[in-house]
Amino acid sequence: MTGNPVAIMEDSLTGLVRGGLIAAALSLTVSACTKSVSMAGTWDATVEVAGVSVPFRFEIADHDGSLEGWFFDGDLKVRSTEGHASGRSLVLTFAQLATRLEASQQPDGSLAGKYDRGARPAPYPFHARRHETSAQPGEAAPTISGVWTIPTKSSKGEQAWRFIVRQSGDGQVSGAILRVDGDTGTLTGRYANGKFVLSHFSGARPLLLEVTPAQDGSLILVQNGKTTLTAVRVEDALAKGLPEPTDPSRHTTMKDGAPFGFNFPDLSGRVVSQADPRFEGKVIVVNVTGSWCPNCHDEAPFLVELYRRYRSLGLEVVALSFEEADQLRNPTRLKAFLTQYGIEYTVLLAGLPEEVSAKIPQAVNLNAFPTTFFLGRDGRVRRVQAGFASPASGDFYTKGKTDIVAFVEALLAEPQPHPAD
């Protein structure tokens, strides 16, 4: 070796320092790329459904690395049952819906991914950006609040629906379309460029509704960019002799006055029948339902409340759950549904949704989920109620619950039948 030993040593030290700095920089870069980025907060999100972008609000909370997310149905939250993040990616599971949201944070801070619907085909593409409150005042909007009639012909035999609208002074609007089986969930939006644009997505029933006021006072409704409907004020519909919406208490009837029968297994495989001693002389609410059915999710909290309030007075609630084939084999979604709502009443696995008429042959025109049968103490059907109006339907929800409670109380007040009856 030749040259100045001190210079050689200095060059070596300089190389080591440079190498160490480069290694440290690389380490920091890798760490930055893999480090979890907080995705907590409020997001303005969309799902793509058949080429239509449906907007909705979504929130994420970070509990020390364990994520929780929720959709909104008006003021109600539809919460995830499990969630986690890894680097810039997240996975949120909604077991009560048998769905999963997978997304990753993009370089611009947005989220992109998919909403996987389990056994259902074609997951929804998902995108979201951080929520930003608009400082601009909304446009002056025409008044459309109130109840409207939508003439239509549905597969369930209906000739009209209701459109229920609530409106604030800043152009904000909310409401729902109410059918015989239930409603759309809470539609929310605002007025801009000559029309109201409302939407709903709470993990299910995605809907984009564009509402344009017409010169004749009617409303032109376009659903998901395709189906066009017309809504008219209720008083105008009556004046024109248009058909009224179907009465949910008259939609489904019974073939005869014979006692209502059911004979299905519970989730443990034990067969439960209306002839079991536990039901003798009691008022029974038999609920045709399914954990796949959004309107059944709407109804469940009410049935839980009804059962807890009146079971000590002789009320039984029996849910006949009609599920898809994979859920009948392994009812994970149904079990999560029971946990979600704290259901304590009897739940039986009744069959596939398309088998409902065959499995309940006493009923006529049984084509709405949910449908609820009210049995007196003698086991005979005293009333059949199709569908369930959720809180999105406003007064129809409140009045509907009040009416059912009064009817159940009247049944409970009736005397026990005589054994010879």
State the pLDDT at residue 139. Answer: 74
Q: 35 pLDDT exceeds 70? A: no
Considering the domain architecture, whether residues 259 and 385 belong to the same structural domain is answered as yes
Closest CA to 174 of 153, 145, 150: 145
Considering the domain architecture, whether residues 278 and 319 belong to the same structural domain is answered as yes
E strand or H helix that includes residue 316: strand 315-322
Give percent above pLDDT 70 in the chain: 89
The counts of H helices and E strands in the chain are 7, 26
E strand or H helix that includes residue 172: strand 172-178
State the pLDDT at residue 58. Answer: 97
Q: 210 pLDDT exceeds 70? A: yes
pLDDT, tens digit, 9 for 90 and up, residues 92-106: 999 999 999 999 999
Q: 20 pLDDT exceeds 50? A: no
Considering the domain architecture, whether residues 279 and 405 belong to the same structural domain is answered as yes
Average of pLDDT values for 317-343?
98
Considering the domain architecture, whether residues 341 and 407 belong to the same structural domain is answered as yes
Gap between the Cα atoms of 400 and 394, Å rounded: 10
Instruction: Let me know if residue 9 belongs to a domain.
Output: no
Residue ending a domain, choose from 67, 100, 130 = 130
| Residue range(s) defining the domain that contains residue 387 | 253-413
341: helix, coil or strand?
A: helix
What rounded mean pLDDT belongs to the chain?
91
In this prediction, residue 8 has a pLDDT band, given cuts at 50, 70 and 90, of very low
Residue in the block written with tokens 């909604």: 94
pLDDT, tens digit, 9 for 90 and up, residues 164-176: 999 987 778 999 9
What one-character-per-residue DSSP string does 61-116 give? EEETTEEEEEEEETTEEEE-SEEEEETTEEEEEETTTTEEEEEEE-TTS-EEEEEE
Residue ending a domain, choose from 239, 273, 305 = 239
Instruction: Let me know if residue 22 belongs to a domain.
Output: no
State the pLDDT at residue 137. Answer: 65
CATH number of the domain to which 207 belongs = 2.40.128
Cα atoms found within 13 Å of the Cα of residue 386, Cβ hemisphere only: 24
Q: 82 pLDDT exceeds 90? A: yes
Instruction: Let me know if residue 227 belongs to a domain.
Output: yes
Q: 22 pLDDT exceeds 50? A: no
From residue 404, alpha-carbon distances to 9, 58, 362, 396, 411 in Å are 92, 33, 22, 12, 11
Q: 4 pLDDT exceeds 60? A: no
Considering the domain architecture, whether residues 166 and 196 belong to the same structural domain is answered as yes
Considering the domain architecture, whether residues 328 and 384 belong to the same structural domain is answered as yes
Find the DSSP H helices in 311-394: 325-329, 332-341, 356-359
pTM flag (> 0.75): yes
| β-pair partners for 85 | 90
State the pLDDT at residue 382. Answer: 98
Instruction: Let me know if residue 137 belongs to a domain.
Output: no
Instruction: Let me know if residue 34 belongs to a domain.
Output: no
Whether residue 173 contacts residue 189, with contact meaning beta carbons closer than 8 Å, is answered with: yes
In this prediction, residue 317 has a pLDDT band, given cuts at 50, 70 and 90, of very high
Considering the domain architecture, whether residues 323 and 407 belong to the same structural domain is answered as yes
Considering the domain architecture, whether residues 389 and 260 belong to the same structural domain is answered as yes
Long-range (24+ apart) CB contacts under 8 A made by 58-63 are: 58/128, 60/90, 60/92, 62/38
| β-pair partners for 162 | 149, 178
- Give the dihedral of Cα atoms 222, 165, 76, 227; nearest 10 deg: -10
State the pLDDT at residue 121. Answer: 79
pLDDT, tens digit, 9 for 90 and up, residues 60-76: 999 887 999 999 999 99
Instruction: Let me know if residue 3 belongs to a domain.
Output: no
Considering the domain architecture, whether residues 167 and 290 belong to the same structural domain is answered as no
- When divided into structural domains, the chain yields a total of 3
Residue ending a domain, choose from 99, 130, 161 = 130
Considering the domain architecture, whether residues 317 and 230 belong to the same structural domain is answered as no
User: Which two structure tokens, joined as six digits, stand for 26?
Assistant: 């690389």
| β-pair partners for 326 | none
Gap between the Cα atoms of 322 and 320, Å rounded: 6
Considering the domain architecture, whether residues 92 and 159 belong to the same structural domain is answered as no
pLDDT, tens digit, 9 for 90 and up, residues 359-413: 999 999 999 999 999 999 999 999 999 999 999 999 999 999 999 999 999 999 9
Considering the domain architecture, whether residues 166 and 291 belong to the same structural domain is answered as no
Instruction: Let me know if residue 341 belongs to a domain.
Output: yes
